[in-house]
Amino acid sequence: MRFLAGVLFALVLAGAAQAQPASSGPVNTGHLTAELVSSAQGIAPGQTIHVALRQQIQKGWHTYWRNPGDSGEATRLDLTLPAGWTAGAFVWPAPHRMPIGPLVNYGYKGEVLLPLTLTAPAGARPGGTVALKGKASFLVCEEICIPESADLTLALPVTAGPAAPDPKWGPAIARTLAAAPKPAGLTAAFRKEGGVLKLAVAGGPLKGADVADAYFFPFSGTAIDHARPQAIERGSEGLTLTLTPGVDFQAGDGPAALPGVLALGEDGPAYELTAAAGPAPAGAAGLGAPPAKASGGGAGGLNLATAALFGLVGGLILNLMPCVFPVLAMKAASLAGHGGGAHAQARRQGLAFGAGVLATFLVLAGGLVALQAAGAAVGWGFQLQSPPVVAALALLMLAIALNLSGVFEVAGSLQNVGSGLAGRGGTAGAFFTGALAVVVAAPCTAPFMGAAIGWALGQSALVALTVFAALGVGFAAPFVAIAFAPALLDRLPAPGPWMDVFRKALAFPMYAAAAWLVWVLTQQAGADALARILAAAIVLALAAWLAGAAQRRALSGGRPLAQGLAAAALAAVAIGAVVWPRYAEATSTTAEAPAGSVPYEPYTPERLAALRAEGRPVLVNYTAAWCVSCQVNERVALSTRGVAEALSRSGAAYLKADWTKKDAVIAADLARFGRAGVPLYLVYGADGGEPAILPVLLTEGLVVRALDAAAKPR
């Protein structure tokens, strides 16, 4: 039992493969120092990472945002890339207001990072180096403005697998991306009334937030008079800003949309929004909405108490998710040993199970928080994005199945099969069962759970661990409650020979779990990994058989040392074979869907933007091979004739964002919508605006209705 528990926690802490460090050189342009820096120490074929233009601006000087305000010029970067390589646009941090005489400009002082995505072609050759060359242009101003430029280079090794985060720039770029303005489910509208422009915003993180220092930065330089103050009216769920209209509103009613960034103070959170011409949303003030004094609240309308409650409820529901089915066998076997009045032992094991659940939730949460702080683009279920972890978990499931089948025993004897469930080893076994249940269930996201985790990961480590602890309490509560319910336990039959048959029958869900993990491994590392994991499984089965033979020999009075040592050595060889060597990348998927399934395309931000520019509805499915709930939804609700007909009828496109392997772009998308893991289902309407977020558990009818609604004007 100690060996299996040790393997389990080693898997939780397993690290990603290391890549060679990236290299670049800073250039002093006169009033700032510029360089290209990377979030990772290399890039793999088909991978997307973040590269950033770093500016260290001389004290007293500044550069400009995408909309410089009343004067100035935005920073530009013209990249020269090898054939097949692509780069995205800047992710602009929220700017600062910079009054200069009668003008107000928007820009940056001190150090600023402007990240952008870099995607390698699937055919990039590992072992080589990609050289990025770019010409950066700045307008650097103090009392005078000086145009400056720099020719920058960045050399990145092309690695066989995803490279490790850059220890210096990975965390810095991750912090910049986390703080950058993002859509947050806000509802916004504007209306020109006389000589002023009313911008009303409500919902999302504005509920209960402090909006006293709110300010709107439009993307258009001619939408408003930047130098005029922005008066604030607070509402019950948002605010209304009174702006002075600019040139864009001098002809007719002005533009149909007003995009920009709403910042809640100079150093507060900032959100992207697109306001539509029309009446103010409810709760935004300015049109009869009752004013309300806002008090500090959490992002997304959550605070610690609400997030902890969501975590508790989500943990309870998680027990019903498909991810937990493989370990229901172990829970059932543990309960089976408590019939006939074994109440005291049942209570001890219930508490041990709860302790295992809580401890493992906190270990996983601590690892997740630490990896994100180090700049890694990871989320809930991150451990199953590593092929060595998946392979080792498959062997662990196989070992548990062989134990349940009676090939060898843990904390028991062959003469008293099943006594380990209710004997002295039962408490340790219950703790291990709780730990294993969390590791297997971690990839799934239950209702309420996604919002709680997404909010928690944007807070301090202590707050995040508190929310995860509430999630663990909810997950463990049903089993612990049953252990403390004598009336329920008395209904179970007393332990006896029937337990041997019951226990061996429960081995088959564990065999199924091992087979599923082998399939996940092939999705991550290709067919070559199949031979390795099957060979390791045979060696592990031989080790288990030798361990059982040693136990039988010991019971008959013999000396089992040789057989025991051989079993331990073979088990070590099996685990080493799947954990130590590096795995190759799986062959990239094509744009064609498998025969018989609903047609889809691989997701990229660029493809989504192109489809939306065409005015088409879009269904985006954030999924992973290791997410059982995702696979169930795929077969029950997405790969159906009704959905195929709805896609055709509405003219909608279907994109799949596959997070089976680590992907910084998908991780950033999930964070943008307040999620830390998959599944996530978005339906973008034909007329633009924010997407509709579908529930974690889908039905065919729900998806069909969402697609039909997306095709209609809102």
Q: Are residues 236 and 306 in the same domain?
A: no
Q: Which residue has the higher pLDDT, 56 or 678?
A: 56
Give percent of the chain with pLDDT exceeding 90.
31
CATH code of the domain containing 694: 3.40.30.10
Predicted confidence (pLDDT) per residue in 256-269, tens digit: 889 999 999 888 89
Q: Are residues 140 and 251 in the same domain?
A: no
Mean pLDDT of 602-626: 88
pLDDT, position 327: 63
pLDDT, position 299: 38
Phi-psi region of 361 (alpha: psi -120 to 50; beta: other; left: phi over 0): alpha
pLDDT, position 298: 34
173 located within any domain: no
pLDDT, position 69: 93
Give the distance from CA 436 to its chain's centroid: 21
Q: How many CB atoms lie within 10 A of CB 307?
A: 27
pLDDT, position 380: 67
Report the C-alpha gap between 634 and 253 in whole angstroms. 46
Total domains present in the chain: 4
Q: Given a cut of 90, is residue 499 above it in pLDDT? A: no
Place of tokens 């192109």: 610
174 located within any domain: no
pLDDT, position 322: 63
Rg of the chain taking only CA atoms, in angstroms: 29
Q: Are residues 659 and 529 in the same domain?
A: no
Q: Given a cut of 70, is residue 291 above it in pLDDT? A: no
CA distance readout (Å), 468 to 275, 307, 449: 36, 10, 10
Q: Are residues 634 and 512 in the same domain?
A: no
pLDDT, position 592: 44
Last residue of one domain, picked from the residues 275, 301, 327:
301
592 located within any domain: no
DSSP 180: S
pLDDT, position 87: 93
Provide the strand spans (E) within 573-660: 601-602, 618-623, 653-658
Q: Are residues 372 and 436 in the same domain?
A: yes
Q: Are residues 409 and 439 in the same domain?
A: yes
284 located within any domain: yes
Q: Are residues 210 and 119 in the same domain?
A: no
Last residue of one domain, picked from the residues 544, 579, 614:
579
Q: Is 48 helix (H, G, I), strand (E, B) or coil?
A: strand
pLDDT, position 158: 95
Mean pLDDT of 529-541: 88
175 located within any domain: no
Report the C-alpha gap between 634 and 632 in whole angstroms. 5
Q: How many CB atoms lie within 10 A of CB 306?
A: 17
587 located within any domain: no
Predicted confidence (pLDDT) per residue in 51-100, tens digit: 999 999 999 999 999 999 998 999 999 999 999 999 999 999 999 999 88
- 6 CB burial (10 A radius; 0-12, 13-18, 19+): exposed
Q: Are residues 535 and 469 in the same domain?
A: yes
Give the closest residue to 422 by CA, choosing from 326, 343, 501, 509.
343
pLDDT-wise least confident of 349-358, 584-593, 641-650: 584-593
Mean pLDDT of 532-544: 90
3-state class percentages of the chain: helix first, strand second, coil last, to nearest 5 = 40, 20, 35
pLDDT, position 338: 55
Token representation of residue 459: 């807070």
Report the C-alpha gap between 507 and 400 in whole angstroms. 8
Mean pLDDT of 651-663: 89
Q: Given a cut of 80, is residue 308 above it in pLDDT? A: yes
Q: Are residues 415 and 471 in the same domain?
A: yes
Predicted confidence (pLDDT) per residue in 132-179, tens digit: 999 999 999 998 899 999 999 999 999 998 888 999 999 999 999 988
Q: Given a cut of 50, is residue 190 above it in pLDDT? A: yes
Predicted confidence (pLDDT) per residue in 452-487, tens digit: 776 777 677 788 889 889 988 988 888 888 878 777
Report the C-alpha gap between 97 and 78 in whole angstroms. 26
User: Residue 362 is inside which H or E element, if any?
Assistant: helix 343-373
Residues found in the chain? 714
pLDDT, position 300: 45
Q: Which of 283-287, 336-340, 643-647 has the highest mean pLDDT?
A: 643-647
State the amino acid at position 208 in one-letter form.
G
Last residue of one domain, picked from the residues 301, 329, 358:
301
Token representation of residue 513: 């779990």
Which residue segment(s) compose the domain that 155 sits in? 23-163
**Burial letters 461-477, b for 16+ CB under 10 A, else e:** eebbbbbbbbbbbbbbb
pLDDT, position 13: 43
Predicted confidence (pLDDT) per residue in 409-462, tens digit: 764 433 333 333 333 346 777 788 888 778 777 666 667 776 777 677 767 778
pLDDT, position 611: 87
CATH code of the domain containing 54: 2.60.40.1250
Predicted confidence (pLDDT) per residue in 218-252, tens digit: 999 999 999 889 988 888 788 999 999 988 887 66
Predicted confidence (pLDDT) per residue in 167-187, tens digit: 999 999 999 998 899 888 788
588 located within any domain: no
Peptide bond into 679 cis (omega under 30): yes
Q: Are residues 349 and 249 in the same domain?
A: no
170 located within any domain: no
Place of tokens 């998959």: 678
Q: Are residues 291 and 440 in the same domain?
A: no
Predicted confidence (pLDDT) per residue in 9-48, tens digit: 444 444 333 334 444 579 999 999 999 999 999 999 989 9
Average pLDDT over all residues of the chain = 80
Q: Given a cut of 80, is residue 378 above it in pLDDT? A: no
Q: Are residues 547 and 643 in the same domain?
A: no
Token representation of residue 452: 């709680």
Number of helices (H) and strands (E) in the chain: give both, helices first. Answer: 20, 25
